[in-house]
């Protein structure tokens, strides 16, 4: 039996510095195989000799071209080592794991995406998949926040979303500077600028723990049902396959039943939000 | 860590302050048994093993506590030069047994055990290196563990976080399936003390005395209760807890006082 | 399959014979206590043991094991390592046997764990019926693990001069016939076995004050119970309660590379939800920072979460966590306290 813990060596074909602390890695699996992921799923990425870390797939399944992308923030051992790698290098990959966003349930619905900071990495996968099948969904609203202009990820793509007629995309930064002529304020301030038909809206938000508290309040305030609000939780993960116990939140195994959960599933659980 | 020298091997130096030099002897020992380690670095200063002195080191290992005001200047100099400062062993890491002398009058220290406030934080007393200069990492233990020294140096060379455990000695003790000393009428600080020594003292039947310092967020009150319930007097509880960690407990009191 | 009888004098020779072809692991004395270990001499085996410090899970999921070896430089190559040897695990009590069945489920569901399963596959289980409570901390009777109808290859019950051997599998039958000298049980043996089994029950007490089947429902209303804080104040976060638990299987993974940075191994080691760093993520956020929350997590896992996942309770009542806790935290008392306040 092949061990589920053994990573497959995949070729790093592109590295792009996105911000001071984030890089986008383009990775190619052997024999041109596609990863076969759903938006919201993650892989366990290894730098052999250093260790392994869970990272959301940032590219859309609809644009795979035999490669996938990871957007990685440099915070510790594995992510430091990844940041030290150059095209041609080798990354160990296991997965995709986890449940991903329920794209099927979103068809025909109005969609509200609220990515904060690095949360855009997984949501970009979903947003691009939706845009590649634009006709299958109702309104597409994107409320995007970052702390400072330099920390805004995927600038080009976000600008395209802003420019599109069939996407309502608003962008804000917590603190502006002289390069920034857009909206300034925390992400929740964008919510006042839109109105939604709550019963027909599915929302997906990903961001740091502190952001969830406020964004969730806004979404609920708009009357969107708890079971139509999706979020993705970040936990310590050592195996990705429901064995090591690290990712468990109350009775949920985050790497299997998550990382995407509805607000209905996670509310009231002190350890979740 | 910044630039490594042209031959690619980082230059390292060893310094000693108030200590028994036992940790440096352990270093000599590890270097002799791990030639790969010796080959990976260039030692430019090491009183235990060589006479010449190079001042162009990148990694400084400091053994011993700071016990005199005069030590401070030398420590600042080392900090200035080194990219990475490593506290080597309990004396440098914790103040260790040197700080025991900070512990009088005894009457006052007893109050700590009773949970009273105390204000006996004195003048110039033995202190860990980290109290004087910024320390990048510490290799705990009295003396340090040979294998751990090797692991830490390796991690520093790779640029990885050194694998110093945050969990307590009990973990290693249980994984080795030792009979718990509390089951045979002995006493042990293992539940609140940082592992990494492979529970060596309990393995040989001696209670842990805390030479590697406390784990993060130790439940000291519960530990005191456990020791008292197992039959230790207040004095005995105190002498155990302070054996290596006097400085930390005093600092803690000062902090609580402040609140 | 069948019931056999093995004279006590025949146990030594059976072990001796098995040792030639198998690693035979059995209970041995360790100071005043007991521990499972590889036998090098049949005389080391102490079938009269009460309980062991660590459960026999260490044979199936070792404290530390290598998952893979890798070589670095250019394209790293990674080879999986499966550490498994033909093993006879001899003399495990029924509480631990139930725990093995739970581990089997945990390691085979959804993403099977090749390392555990390979070892499990090569392990023959010989279990042993307890006729006396191991000590005052056990509560197997409450948890329904005081006996077992399945899960073993051979199951021994002490009849005085001989053991009754319930042969449950082909593998069990084979080692018994190839390496031992047992005979078919006669009517008298069957009667004697029933007497022994019938007589043991009154010696054990129910320590849970309610039916264990109610635990999951009970705990589902206890998330905010004051007990957790009380336990959190006393708990030292030492991790012993989980390390000695036969049903705990959490682990951490480490890469260990040689000094020349050319090769190394990926290893896993037991981990514990009671430790401060268990749920800490990069950036320093800790999702179970309070000891109270960690104690709650352990109790919930034992009495509820595992049940929801596998349909069986996560506690087999072996009492090890109670024995191991220097702070005297007692899971039965805890469950009872919650029930009383419900
Ligand atoms: C489902 C999921 C998706 C994710 N997606 C992304 C993504 O798309 N992009 C991205 O950049 N990140 C993502 N992350 C986060 C990413 O996994 C972590 O940043 C990464 O694991 C950090 O690993 P590291 O080895 O670099 O850090 P480490 O060196 O491992 O440092 C952090 C780890 O060390 C432990 N630790 C040890 N000591 C300390 C200490 N003193 N303080 C704090 N922590 C300590 C922490 O528990 C933590 O696990 C995701 C995480 C999850 C669970
Ligand atoms: S002997 Fe000490 S370290 Fe070992 S389990 Fe007991 S208390 Fe913990
Ligand atoms: S058991 Fe305690 S005293 Fe002994 S070496 Fe380890 S930390 Fe130091
Ligand atoms: S053994 Fe006791 S003190 Fe240690 S973590 Fe468990 S409950 Fe807490
Ligand atoms: S929780 Fe305690 S009593 Fe229950 S199986 Fe685990 S160690 Fe045994
Ligand atoms: S808990 Fe019960 S089954 Fe387990 S060893 Fe003790 S008496 Fe036997
Ligand atoms: S990451 Fe190991 S159980 Fe979820």
Ligand 1, residue C282: give the atom nearest the CA. 32
Q: Which of B173, B162, B161 is nearest to B197 (CA)?
A: B173
Query: Which chain A positions have a beta carbon within 8 Å of B161's beta carbon?
Result: 76-77
CB contact (8 A) between residue B168 and residue C239: yes
Tokens encoding C231: 């336990």
A5 touching C, CB under 8 A?
A: yes
CB contact (8 A) between residue B166 and residue C275: yes
- Residue B29 backbone dihedrals phi, psi, to 5 degrees: -60, -45
**Minimal C-alpha gap between A77 and chain B (Å):** 6
Q: Which residues of chain B have pLDDT under 70?
A: 1-7, 98-124, 258-259
Predicted confidence band at C288 (pLDDT cuts at 50, 70, 90)? confident
CB contact (8 A) between residue A245 and residue C249: yes
* Closest chain A residue to C301, measured at CA: A251
Q: Which of residues 167-206 of B touch C (CB under 8 A)?
A: 167-168, 170-171, 174-175, 177-180, 182-184, 190-192
Average pLDDT over residues C129-153: 95
Write the pLDDT tens digit of every residue in B133-186. Answer: 999 999 999 999 988 898 888 888 877 888 899 999 999 999 999 999 999 999
Mapping DSSP to helix (H, G, I), strand (E, B) and coil, where does residue C209 land?
coil
Q: Which of A268, A248, A208 is nearest to A232 (CA)?
A: A208
Same domain assignment for residues B223 and B249 = yes
Write the pLDDT tens digit of every residue in A97-113. Answer: 999 999 999 999 999 99
Query: Which chain A positions have a beta carbon within 8 Å of B160's beta carbon?
Result: 50, 77
Does residue B79 fall inside a structural domain?
yes
Q: C46: CA distance to ligand 6 center in Å?
A: 15
Query: Which chain B positions have a beta carbon within 8 Å of A49's beta carbon?
Result: 158
| Structural domain total, chain A | 2
Task: Tell which of B160, B161, B163, B167 to mutate to test the A interface (max A CBs under 10 Å).
Answer: B160
User: Residue A76 contacts by C-beta under 8 Å, 6 or more apart in sequence?
Assistant: A53, B161, C282
Same domain assignment for residues C19 and C164 = yes
Average pLDDT over residues A36-59: 96
CATH number where A159 lies: 3.40.50.80
**Minimal C-alpha gap between B137 and chain C (Å):** 18
Q: Among C203, C226, C246, identify where a domain stops.
A: C203
- Element holding C227 (H helix, E strand): helix C227-234
Q: Which of C277, C131, A7 is nearest to B168 (CA)?
A: C277
Q: Among B122, B157, B192, identify where a domain stops.
A: B157
Task: Tell which of C32, C238, C273 to mutate to test the B interface (max B CBs under 10 Å).
Answer: C238
Of C33, C35, C275, nearest to B167 by CB-CB distance is: C275
C250 touching B, CB under 8 A?
A: no
Q: Among A97, A124, A147, identify where a domain stops.
A: A97
Average pLDDT over residues C69-76: 91
Same domain assignment for residues C181 and C221 = no
Size of interface B-C (CB pairs under 8 A): 104
Ligand 2, residue B202: give the atom nearest the CA. 1
C29 touching B, CB under 8 A?
A: no
HSE value, Cβ hemisphere, 13 Å, CA-based, for B17 = 32
* Closest chain B residue to C255, measured at CA: B163
Does residue B39 fall inside a structural domain?
yes
Query: Which of A117-121, B143-147, C213-217 shows the lowest mean pLDDT across its residues?
Result: B143-147
* pLDDT value of position A113: 96
Same domain assignment for residues B145 and B179 = no
Q: Among C203, C221, C249, identify where a domain stops.
A: C203
Same domain assignment for residues C40 and C186 = yes
Same domain assignment for residues B70 and B179 = no
Task: Show the domain range for B241.
Answer: 169-254
Ligand 4, residue C239: give the atom nearest the CA. 5
User: Would you say residue A270 has pLDDT above 70?
Assistant: no
Q: Which of residues 6-35 of C touch A (CB under 8 A)?
A: none
Does residue A171 fall inside a structural domain?
yes
Nearest CA to ligand 3 atom 8: B211
Ligand nearest A121 Cα, by number? 1
In angstroms, the CA C82 to CA B24 distance is 40
Task: Show the domain range for C264.
Answer: 212-341
Nearest CA to ligand 4 atom 2: C325
* pLDDT value of position B1: 40
Q: What distances in angstroms separate CA C125 from CA A52, B156, C87, C101, C151, one per listed residue?
A: 35, 46, 9, 11, 8
Chain CA centroid to CA B174, Å:
23
CB B173 within 8 A of CB B128: no
* pLDDT value of position B103: 60
% of residues, chain A, pLDDT over 70: 98
Tokens encoding C61: 């999921």
Same domain assignment for residues A17 and A65 = yes
Ligand 4, residue C234: give the atom nearest the CA. 3
* pLDDT value of position A129: 95
Best residue among C140, C147, C157, C206 to mutate for probing ligand 6, ranked by most atoms within 8 Å of CB: C140
| Alpha helices in chain B, H assignment, sequence order | 22-33, 35-40, 69-81, 89-94, 106-114, 146-158, 169-175, 200-203, 220-229, 234-258
Q: Among C203, C238, C269, identify where a domain stops.
A: C203
Chain CA centroid to CA C225, Å:
29
Question: ipTM of the assembly?
Answer: 0.94
Write the pLDDT tens digit of every residue in C160-189. Answer: 999 999 999 999 999 999 999 999 999 999
CATH number where A48 lies: 2.40.30.10
Same domain assignment for residues B121 and B22 = yes
CB C34 within 8 A of CB C53: yes
Predicted confidence band at C147 (pLDDT cuts at 50, 70, 90)? very high
Same domain assignment for residues A117 and A224 = yes
Q: A57: CA distance to ligand 1 center in Å?
A: 15
How many C-beta atoms lie closer than 10 Å to residue C29's C-beta?
14
Same domain assignment for residues B148 and B195 = no
Nearest CA to ligand 4 atom 6: C241
User: In this structure, is the dihedral angle defined by the CA atoms of residues C279, C284, C286 and C292, taken in order, positive or negative?
Assistant: positive
C46 touching B, CB under 8 A?
A: no
**Ligand 1 in contact with A93 (CB < 6 A)?**
no
* pLDDT value of position B106: 45
CA–CA–CA angle C151, C155, C160 (5° rounding): 155
Query: Which chain A positions have a beta carbon within 8 Å of C117's beta carbon?
Result: 1
Ligand nearest A53 Cα, by number? 1
Same domain assignment for residues C162 and C242 = no
CB B224 within 8 A of CB B110: no
Of C33, C270, C326, nearest to B179 by CB-CB distance is: C33
CB contact (8 A) between residue B159 and residue A80: yes
* Closest chain A residue to B161, measured at CA: A77
Does residue B130 fall inside a structural domain?
yes
* pLDDT value of position C81: 97
Q: Among A97, A120, A155, identify where a domain stops.
A: A97
Same domain assignment for residues A40 and A85 = yes
- pLDDT averaged over chain C? 95
Ligand 7, residue A253: give the atom nearest the CA. 4
Does residue B162 fall inside a structural domain?
no
Same domain assignment for residues B174 and B68 = no
Same domain assignment for residues B132 and B181 = no
Does residue A270 fall inside a structural domain?
no
Ligand 1, residue A53: give the atom nearest the CA. 21
DSSP B131: G
In angstroms, the CA C274 to CA C236 distance is 9
In angstroms, the CA A194 to CA C298 distance is 44
* pLDDT value of position A225: 94
**Ligand 1 in contact with A78 (CB < 6 A)?**
yes
Does residue A264 fall inside a structural domain?
no
**Minimal C-alpha gap between A104 and chain B (Å):** 43
Neighbouring subunits of C (3+ Cβ pairs under 8 A): A, B
**Ligand 1 in contact with A237 (CB < 6 A)?**
yes
Same domain assignment for residues A67 and A174 = no
* pLDDT value of position A250: 84
Ligand nearest A207 Cα, by number? 1
**Ligand 4 in contact with C29 (CB < 6 A)?**
no
| Structural domain total, chain C | 2
* pLDDT value of position C151: 96
Task: Show the domain range for A188.
Answer: 103-232
* Closest chain B residue to C234, measured at CA: B222
Q: Among A97, A121, A144, identify where a domain stops.
A: A97
**Minimal C-alpha gap between C321 and chain B (Å):** 12
% of residues, chain C, pLDDT over 70: 100
Q: Among B157, B188, B213, identify where a domain stops.
A: B157
Q: What distances in angstroms separate CA B40 from CA B8, B86, B110, one per listed residue?
A: 9, 17, 49
CB C314 within 8 A of CB C302: yes
* pLDDT value of position A79: 95
In angstroms, the CA B160 to CA B43 distance is 21
Does residue B47 fall inside a structural domain?
yes
Ligand 5, residue C248: give the atom nearest the CA. 6
Same domain assignment for residues C190 and C273 = no
Same domain assignment for residues C171 and C45 = yes
Ligand nearest A235 Cα, by number? 1
Of C70, C281, C301, nearest to A236 by CB-CB distance is: C281
A175 touching C, CB under 8 A?
A: no
Same domain assignment for residues C97 and C188 = yes
Mapping DSSP to helix (H, G, I), strand (E, B) and coil, where does residue A244 land?
coil
CB C304 within 8 A of CB C215: yes
Average pLDDT over residues A31-35: 90
CATH number where B134 lies: 3.40.50.700
Does residue B223 fall inside a structural domain?
yes
Does residue B4 fall inside a structural domain?
no
Same domain assignment for residues A84 and A127 = no
């Amino acid at each position: 039996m092949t061990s589920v813990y053994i990573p497959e060596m995949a070729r790093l074909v592109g590295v792009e510095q996105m911000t001071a602390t984030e890089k986008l890695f383009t990775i190619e699996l052997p024999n041109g195989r596609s990863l076969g992921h759903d938006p919201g799923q993650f892989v366990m990425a290894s730098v052999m000799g250093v260790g392994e870390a869970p990272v959301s797939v940032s590219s859309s399944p609809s644009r795979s071209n035999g490669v996938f992308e990871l957007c990685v923030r440099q915070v510790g051992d594995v992510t430091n080592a990844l940041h030290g790698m150059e095209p041609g290098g080798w990354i160990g990959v296991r997965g995709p794991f986890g449940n991903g966003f329920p794209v099927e349930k979103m068809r025909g619905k109005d969609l509200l995406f609220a990515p904060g900071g690095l949360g855009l990495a997984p949501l970009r996968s979903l947003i691009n998949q939706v845009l590649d099948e634009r006709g299958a969904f109702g309104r597409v609203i994107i409320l995007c926040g970052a702390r400072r202009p330099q920390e805004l990820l995927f600038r080009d793509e976000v600008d395209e979303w802003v420019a599109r007629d069939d996407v309502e995309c608003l962008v804000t930064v917590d603190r502006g500077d002289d390069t920034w002529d857009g909206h300034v304020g925390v992400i929740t301030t964008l919510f006042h600028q839109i109105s939604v038909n709550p019963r027909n809206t599915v929302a997906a938000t990903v961001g740091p723990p502190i952001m969830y508290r406020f964004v969730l309040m806004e979404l609920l305030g708009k009357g969107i049902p708890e079971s139509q609000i999706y979020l993705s939780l970040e936990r310590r993960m050592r195996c990705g396959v429901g064995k090591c116990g690290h990712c468990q939140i109350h009775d949920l195994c985050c790497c299997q039943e998550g990382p995407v959960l509805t607000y209905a599933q996670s509310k009231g659980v002190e350890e979740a939000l | 860590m910044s630039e490594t020298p042209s031959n690619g091997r980082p230059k390292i130096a060893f310094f000693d302050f108030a200590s028994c030099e036992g940790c440096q002897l352990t270093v000599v020992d590890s270097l002799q048994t791990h030639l790969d380690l010796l080959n990976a670095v260039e030692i430019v200063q090491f009183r235990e093993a060589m006479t010449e002195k190079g001042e162009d080191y990148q990694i400084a290992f400091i053994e011993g506590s700071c016990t005199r005001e005069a030590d401070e200047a030398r420590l600042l100099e080392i900090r200035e030069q080194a990219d990475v400062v490593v506290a080597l062993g309990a004396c440098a890491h914790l103040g260790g047994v040197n700080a025991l002398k900070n512990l009088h009058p005894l009457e006052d220290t007893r109050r700590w055990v009773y949970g009273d406030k105390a204000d006996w934080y004195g003048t110039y007393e033995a202190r860990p290196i980290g109290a004087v200069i910024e320390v990048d990492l510490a290799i705990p233990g009295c003396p340090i563990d040979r294998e751990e020294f090797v692991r830490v140096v390796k991690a520093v060379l790779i640029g990885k976080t050194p694998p110093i455990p945050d969990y307590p000695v009990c973990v290693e003790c249980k994984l080795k399936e030792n009979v718990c000393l509390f089951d045979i009428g002995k006493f042990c600080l293992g539940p609140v003390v940082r592992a990494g020594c492979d529970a060596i003292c309990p393995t040989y039947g001696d209670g842990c005395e805390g030479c590697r310092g406390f784990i993060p967020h130790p439940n000291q009150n519960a530990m005191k209760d456990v020791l008292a319930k197992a039959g230790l007097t207040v004095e005995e509880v105190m002498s155990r807890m302070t054996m290596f960690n006097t400085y930390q407990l005093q600092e803690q009191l000062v902090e609580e006082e402040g609140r | 399959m069948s019931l056999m009888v093995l004279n006590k004098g025949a146990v030594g020779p059976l072990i001796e014979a098995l040792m030639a072809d198998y690693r035979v692991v059995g209970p041995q004395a360790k100071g005043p206590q007991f521990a499972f270990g590889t036998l090098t001499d049949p005389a080391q085996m102490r079938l009269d043991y009460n309980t062991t410090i660590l459960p026999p899970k260490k044979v199936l999921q070792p404290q530390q094991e290598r998952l893979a070896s890798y070589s670095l430089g250019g394209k790293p190559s990674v080879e999986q390592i499966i550490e498994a040897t033909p093993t006879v695990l001899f003399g495990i009590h029924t509480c631990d046997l139930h725990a093995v069945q739970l581990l089997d489920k945990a390691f085979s569901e959804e993403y099977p764990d090749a390392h555990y399963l390979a070892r499990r596959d090569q392990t023959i289980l010989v279990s042993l019926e307890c006729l006396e409570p191991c000590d005052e901390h056990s509560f197997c009777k409450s948890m329904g693990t005081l006996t077992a109808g399945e899960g073993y290859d051979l199951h021994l019950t002490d009849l005085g001069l001989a053991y009754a051997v319930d042969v449950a599998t082909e593998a069990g039958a084979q080692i018994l016939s190839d390496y031992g000298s047992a005979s078919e049980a006669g009517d008298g043996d069957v009667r004697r076995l029933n007497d022994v089994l019938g007589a043991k029950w009154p010696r054990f007490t129910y320590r849970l004050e309610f039916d264990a089947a109610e635990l999951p429902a009970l705990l589902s209303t206890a998330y905010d119970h004051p007990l957790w804080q009380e336990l959190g104040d006393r708990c030292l976060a030492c991790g012993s309660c989980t390390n000695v638990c036969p049903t705990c299987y959490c682990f951490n993974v480490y890469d260990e590379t040689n000094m020349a940075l050319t090769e190394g191994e990926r290893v896993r080691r037991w981990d514990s939800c009671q430790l401060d760093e268990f749920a800490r993520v990069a950036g320093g956020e800790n999702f179970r920072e309070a000891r109270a929350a960690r104690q709650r997590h352990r109790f919930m896992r034992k009495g509820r979460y595992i049940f929801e996942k596998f349909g069986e309770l996560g506690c087999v009542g072996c009492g090890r966590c109670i024995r191991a806790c220097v702070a005297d935290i007692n899971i039965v008392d805890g469950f009872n306290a919650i029930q009383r306040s419900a």
